[in-house]
Amino acid sequence: MAKPLLDIEHLTVDFKTDRGTLTAISDLSLQLHPGETVCLVGESGSGKTITSKAIMRLIDYENGVISGGAIRLGGEELTSLSQEKVSKLRGKKMSMVFQEPMAAFDPVFTIGSQIVDVIVRHIRIGRSDASAHAVSLLRRVGIPEPELRMKQYPGELSGGMLQRAMIAMALACGPELLIADEPTTALDVTIQAQILQLLQELKEEYGMSILLITHDLGVAAEIADRIVVMYAGRIVEQAPARELFRRPLHPYTQGLLQSVTTLDTRRDSRLYSIQGAIPSLSSLPTGCRFHPRCPSATPICASSVPELEEIEGRQVACWHAGTAGEADAAAKEKRAEQKGIDAGLPGSADREAGSVESALVQRTEARAGRLPLFEVRGLSKYYPVKGGPLALAQARKAIRAVDDVSFFIEEGETFGLVGESGSGKSTLGRVLLQLEPATAGQVFFRGQELSARNGKMLRDARRDMQIIFQDPYGSLNPRWRIGDIIGEPLDVHEKLTAREKRLRVEELLADVGLDPALYGRYPHEFSGGQRQRIGIARAIALRPRFILADEAVSALDVSVQAQIVNLLQDLQQRLGLTYLFIAHGLNIVRHISDRIGVMYLGKLVEIAPSEELFRRPAHPYTRALIASIPQSDPERRRARISLPGEIPSPANPPSGCRFHTRCPAAGPRCREEQPAWHEIGQGHWAACHYPL
């Protein structure tokens, strides 16, 4: 075998803090060979990003230090180099694509100038030649009109386009190693599919190696040659991708795979999740760091650290890995039972289909005869274009965020809403709750028009309508104790004594699975999943009828995501809640929703019962969204439906069907005539001239 391009041996990384020195990475060893793609996976806090920053020597700027081990790139030892020498390697021999592209670009300089600066610094050519090279790079990564984009600022590009620009900048000097840190986490499934395909093409074209960091096992299954699983700063398993998905040996790897929600996951069962949370660096367990959460832990797991050992062509750090065959078979059988996958069990597919159909029938019967909780008629929300050259170019035009939308939400159901960023999902949710006024149309809540209410009447109605936000960090006041955060709605709507309020808040903490004794803690003392539980406790404080969950699980790890989805479903059953569940993770939306609406560029294009939508999508856009979902199993990869380009500007939507500019089946009628709604099955509606 060829010599490794990247060779890490026994790496240890420490951080100096007010509480002393904390060890973030312990005795980590891995190799990356030329032309290979290796994925680092694990929950947030497992050490994936710190590993990448150690390779790039960026931890030096974050109070971090490499206290042990070696990092060799192409045979050159990086740990002993000065920052001046390492900076000459960054961009030229190794480059990094960050999770948040807006943080990688300077907002006060144009995209083109920043890419040109990188080229001039490392290749030493004139700015004119560097500019021409930058244009060719932008064109290669699929950015339309690259000459125009060169003159634009980061804030003028969409998320997907900005991610492509960052990839172009990373490739500017032809690096041998590309490190990609969660490059698709914040992107829609369609853009995610484009970026993954682009990375695979560029790897072959440039002959480079890729170290991809992700907590999405579907992404890892799509692109990885080999997968390295990290937990609390240590590697617990590494294996070829197909082998790891076929037969995971470490209990943590098994738990991660069981936590993945797929199109095969049974909708009438609870999602599997790993109990507990990843430990803090200041309180790491003795022995195997996973043992407090491991269902198979024994006394030796708590007392001694297992070393990485070669077993069946892979490395595993587990005291019981040698006897993991029986445990893995049981875990595989459990996954088969839960997800309905045919794993050699007689009749498993029939049982899955029957149970799903039975559950759907029961839900339909339970809702029969109920009046809609929400009814929306011809709802539109336009934002006028104001100021600057854009307004001069688009005089008397407006951003049509929501355009003539009509639908209803039945009491007790979960209505899922999906679509790419910019489709109008969140705007529709805000107008629904009257957080923003509608430009046109009507919203009825329990038969009464909300837009006709104001002042106290609207405030009284809002106690029945609450919201859970996407960002569990930004939605909580960092200066308030969580008892005050959860109790604020009680202060506004109810007159309680301090003791009564505390008792209610402690009950709410228990309702969402948190210890009531945490009442006096601050948000920064909690993990992301715990903060989201705090947000849910606040949302249910007034026992509302309706909750808008706006991307409420998108920022969470797969196991934490499963915990929150289970909690939402438990609360719905116990409190009789109705949800509008907005998300771009289609597998989760399918699992939790009774019916699903698909939005594109401000309009609803399809509505159907959840299972019906995924089995028989009628609109080409819906079909493309479903086909873009990564398969979390290398053995089950399927052909993708390519969805070119990005969603057009809502300030200048296309004529006719708004999807026709990206639709592979578009004809002259699609370009000229806006499609009307057609019922193509019971409760299944689509706005398409040629439904599939």
Give the tens place of pLDDT for each residue, 603-620.
999 999 999 999 999 999
DSSP H or E run through 488: helix 482-493
Residue 443: Cβ within 10 Å count: 19
Average pLDDT score over residue span 561-586 = 93
pLDDT of 297: 93
The angle formed by the CA atoms of residues 381, 385 and 387, to the nearest 5 degrees, is: 150
CA–chain centroid gap for 120, Å, is 36
Residue 291 is classified by DSSP as G
Please name the amino acid found at residue 302. A
pLDDT interval class at 361 (50, 70, 90): very low
Closest CA to 188 of 582, 490, 691, 651: 582
pLDDT of 640: 56
How much is the pTM? 0.84
pLDDT of 405: 96
* Strand, coil or helix: 248: coil
Using only C-alpha atoms, the chain has a radius of gyration, in whole angstroms, of 26
* Strand, coil or helix: 23: strand
30: Cβ contacts below 8 Å, ≥ 6 apart: 6, 8, 38, 228, 235, 238
pLDDT interval class at 519 (50, 70, 90): very high
SS (H, E, C) 504-556: HHHHHHHHCCCCHHHHHCCHHHCCHHHHHHHHHHHHCCCCCCEEEEECCCCCC
pLDDT of 101: 74
Q: Higher-confidence residue: 406 or 173?
A: 406
Mean pLDDT (the chain) is 86
441 neighbors 374 (Cβ within 8 angstroms): no
Strand 226-231 vs strand 309-311: parallel, antiparallel, or unpaired? unpaired
pLDDT interval class at 574 (50, 70, 90): very high
Query: Both tokens of residue 262?
Result: 């797929």
63 neighbors 15 (Cβ within 8 angstroms): yes
What is the C-alpha separation between 164 and 195, in angstroms, rounded?
Answer: 7
Buried b (16+ CB within 10 A) or exposed e, 488-507: ebbeeeeeeeeeebeebbbe
Closest CA to 55 of 101, 16, 9: 9
* Per-residue pLDDT tens over the stretch 345-358: 223 333 333 333 34
What φ, ψ does residue 276 adopt, rounded to 5°? Answer: 80, -165
DSSP H or E run through 534: helix 528-539
**On the CB side of 138, how many CA atoms lie within 13 Å of its CA?**
26
pLDDT interval class at 195 (50, 70, 90): confident
Strand 309-311 vs strand 234-240: parallel, antiparallel, or unpaired? unpaired
pLDDT interval class at 370 (50, 70, 90): low
Domains by residue range for the chain, with CATH: 6-224 (3.40.50.300), 258-342 (no CATH), 368-464+544-687 (3.40.50.300)
Residue 90 is classified by DSSP as B
pLDDT over 80 (residue 188): no
pLDDT interval class at 323 (50, 70, 90): low
* Per-residue pLDDT tens over the stretch 62-84: 889 999 999 999 989 999 999 99
pLDDT of 455: 76
What φ, ψ does residue 210 adopt, rounded to 5°? Answer: -125, 130
pLDDT over 80 (residue 341): no
Identify the weakest region by mean pLDDT among 13-27, 551-565, 678-692: 551-565
Average pLDDT score over residue span 576-590 = 92
24 neighbors 68 (Cβ within 8 angstroms): no
303: Cβ contacts below 8 Å, ≥ 6 apart: 286, 287
Average pLDDT score over residue span 197-222 = 89
pLDDT over 60 (residue 520): yes
Give me the DSSP letters along 391-445.
HHHTTT-EEEEEEEEEEEEETT-EEEEE--TTSSHHHHHHHHTTSS--SEEEEEE
Query: Both tokens of residue 647?
Result: 């969603």
What is the C-alpha separation between 217 and 260, in angstroms, rounded?
Answer: 8
pLDDT of 47: 92
pLDDT of 386: 64
Beta strands, E only, 459-517? 465-468
What is the C-alpha separation between 198 and 420, in angstroms, rounded?
Answer: 19
pLDDT over 70 (residue 397): yes
Q: Higher-confidence residue: 283 or 486?
A: 486
pLDDT interval class at 637 (50, 70, 90): low
Identify the weakest region by mean pLDDT among 268-282, 340-354, 464-478, 586-600: 340-354
Greatest CA separation for the chain: 74
pLDDT of 369: 54
Residue 297: Cβ within 10 Å count: 17
**On the CB side of 593, how many CA atoms lie within 13 Å of its CA?**
29
